[in-house]
Amino acid sequence: MATKKTGSKAARNASKTLTSRSTSKKSKSAAGSALSQRKSSRKTTAKVAKKASATLRDGRTAKASKSAAGSALSQAGRRKTAKKAVKKTAKKSARKSTSTSAVSTATKAVRKAVKSVRKTAKQAVRSAKKAVR
């Protein structure tokens, strides 16, 4: 089985995220994980996967930060780990506000995050195939 590594575009975005002053700690944590996986075959931990999930769900996050977070989340040890992190984050935000609209918003956020993770995973596979050629 081939191991996933962070692509050059995602690494550039992770670097931008880490050097930005206005970026949150969660975004920087996810970006650091993605950048550390540039040339090694490390896996994203569940703790960082949770932070990456929160970064993807946050509407105020820049595209560069979301790209780095998606890369980190797509490299989680198992797919279950990534899904679990996304679900946990959604449940936590739903608990804060028990209204029906908050639950539907959280559900939409989970779907959006999962879609983003799939897209980033596909991009990682494409870049790996290009690197092999």
Cα–Cα distance, 107 to 127 (Å, whole number): 30
Q: What is the mean pLDDT of residues 93-98?
A: 58
Per-residue pLDDT, 18: 92
Rounded Cα distance between 110 and 89, Å, is: 9
What are the beta bridge partners of residue 44? 76
- Residues 21, 56: contact at Cβ < 8 Å? no
Residue 129 above 80 pLDDT? no
Nearest to 73 by CA among 131, 12, 118: 118
Mean pLDDT confidence for 20-34: 91
Backbone angles phi, psi at 78, to 5 degrees: -135, 160
Q: Convert the pLDDT of each residue in 68-79 to its tens digit.
A: 888 888 887 665
Residue pLDDT, tens place only, 117-127: 777 777 777 77
Per-residue confidence band for 25, with pLDDT thresholds at 50, 70 and 90: very high
Which residue has better confidence, 123 or 15? 15
* Surface-to-core class of residue 109, CB atoms within 10 Å of its CB (0-12 exposed, 13-18 middle, 19+ buried): buried
Q: What is the percent of the chain where pLDDT is above 90? A: 11
pTM (two decimals): 0.57
